[in-house]
């Protein structure tokens, strides 16, 4: 009889994988064993990155015997990747670009899903331009994304918003109490606000252009690890994409596994997140478009110095992703 799954059991089960994509045909790696049996993921408390949380059986099938998790903040999920204490992470592509521009050794390997973020406002505020001069809070969401949202409608995010970002002040609770005007949420925060029927959504990266036309979370790896572990990289990416398909086809089962694995206590929040985010879009979107879109806007806003072309040339490799799009056809 298979022992019941617990968070402790899960976190002690699987390990590292890496891959070098340089100069090797992905198809040539199909039958080779991974160079390592262990892989480490950087993790935070977000529900939407389910594909990196529940991979035991899928990674075992790919030849891995252990997987570990290194705790990271939602804002700096990639910090363990940069330090070399973790090998991979599913995280927001915009954050990956910021880390790359800062010099972190990161290689982006493919897109995972669209959506996640919702910008809430109090009654009477119907759009982002109407936030000029208003107070806007966030806790785990990306401040850079909020700045781009403002710049996209002609606002100056540094001077047109009253920022409330100190987590000690509990910005979500301030918004719920009507003490600030808007709040940018990242799962499970939007689910909490929907459940409590607080405010209204004036922008959703799942539904509203241009944000809905690009990936949110993407798979990134430590560049040195990816360079020196060729077969493992494709196998890790394949495992992540297979679990992404589970989110798209059976969000109820995926949510149940999240709760049973100890990654979130609320089945309803997990189910809402997995059901509403477009996990089925990974085959349709081009990850290079996402990197180009965010890098260009970050550079226009003076938030990075690197050009989109430089980031794409030096810190991305889509060959395994493109191979798996063909291999994992529904």
Same CATH fold assignment for domains 7-114+214-327 and 118-204: yes
Tell me how far apart the alpha carbons of residues 278 and 282 are, in angstroms, rounded to a whole number: 8
| Residue with more model confidence, 39 or 299 | 299
Domain extent listing, the chain: 7-114+214-327, 118-204
Tell me how far apart the alpha carbons of residues 49 and 247 are, in angstroms, rounded to a whole number: 10
Q: What is the CATH number of domain 118-204?
A: 3.40.190.10
pLDDT of residue 29 exceeding 80: no
Tell me how far apart the alpha carbons of residues 313 and 156 are, in angstroms, rounded to a whole number: 31
242, 267, 266: which is closest to 253 by C-alpha? 267
- Pick from 4-8, 61-65, 103-107, 259-263: least confident: 4-8
Predicted structure pTM score? 0.83
Q: In what order do the strands lie in the sheet with 88-92?
A: 66-71, 38-43, 88-92, 217-222, 106-113
Any idea which fold 7-114+214-327 has? D-Maltodextrin-Binding Protein; domain 2 (3.40.190)
252-267: pLDDT as tens digits: 887 887 777 777 778 8
Query: The tokens of 146 are what?
Result: 């909020």
Query: The tokens of 275 are what?
Result: 């059901």
264-286: pLDDT as tens digits: 778 888 887 777 778 888 899 99
pLDDT of residue 18 exceeding 50: no
pLDDT at 16: 29
49-78: pLDDT as tens digits: 666 666 667 877 888 888 888 877 666 778
| Residue with more model confidence, 222 or 35 | 222
């Amino acid at each position: 009889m298979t022992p019941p799954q617990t968070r402790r059991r899960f976190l002690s089960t699987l390990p590292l994988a890496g891959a070098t994509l340089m100069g090797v045909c992905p198809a040539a790696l199909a039958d080779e064993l991974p160079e390592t049996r262990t892989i480490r993921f950087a993790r935070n408390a977000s529900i939407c990155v389910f594909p990196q949380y529940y991979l035991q059986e899928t990674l075992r099938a790919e030849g891995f015997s252990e997987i570990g998790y290194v705790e990271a903040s939602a804002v700096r999920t990639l910090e363990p990747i940069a330090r070399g204490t973790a090998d991979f992470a599913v995280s927001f592509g915009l954050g990956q670009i910021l880390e790359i521009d800062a010099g972190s050794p990161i290689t982006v390997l493919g897109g995972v899903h669209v959506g996640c973020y919702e910008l809430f406002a109090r009654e009477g505020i119907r759009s982002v331009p109407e936030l000029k001069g208003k107070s806007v809070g966030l806790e785990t969401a990306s401040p850079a994304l909020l700045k781009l949202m403002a710049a996209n409608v002609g606002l100056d995010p540094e001077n047109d918003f009253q920022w409330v970002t100190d987590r000690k002040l509990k910005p979500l609770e301030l918004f719920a109490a009507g003490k600030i005007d808007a709040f940018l949420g990242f799962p499970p925060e939007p689910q909490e606000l929907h459940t409590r029927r607080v405010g209204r959504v004036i922008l959703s990266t799942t539904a509203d252009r241009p944000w809905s036309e690009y990936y949110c979370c993407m798979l990134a790896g430590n560049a040195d690890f990816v360079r020196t572990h060729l077969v493992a990289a494709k196998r890790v990416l394949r495992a992540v994409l297979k679990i992404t398909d589970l989110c798209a086809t059976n969000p109820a089962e995926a949510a149940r596994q999240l709760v049973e694995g100890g990654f979130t206590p609320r089945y309803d929040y997990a189910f809402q997140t997995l059901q509403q985010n477009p996990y089925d879009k990974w085959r349709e979107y081009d990850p290079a478009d996402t990197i180009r879109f965010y890098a260009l806007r970050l550079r226009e806003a003076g938030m990075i110095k690197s050009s989109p072309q430089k980031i794409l040339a030096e810190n991305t490799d889509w060959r395994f992703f493109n191979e798996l799009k063909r291999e994992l056809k529904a």
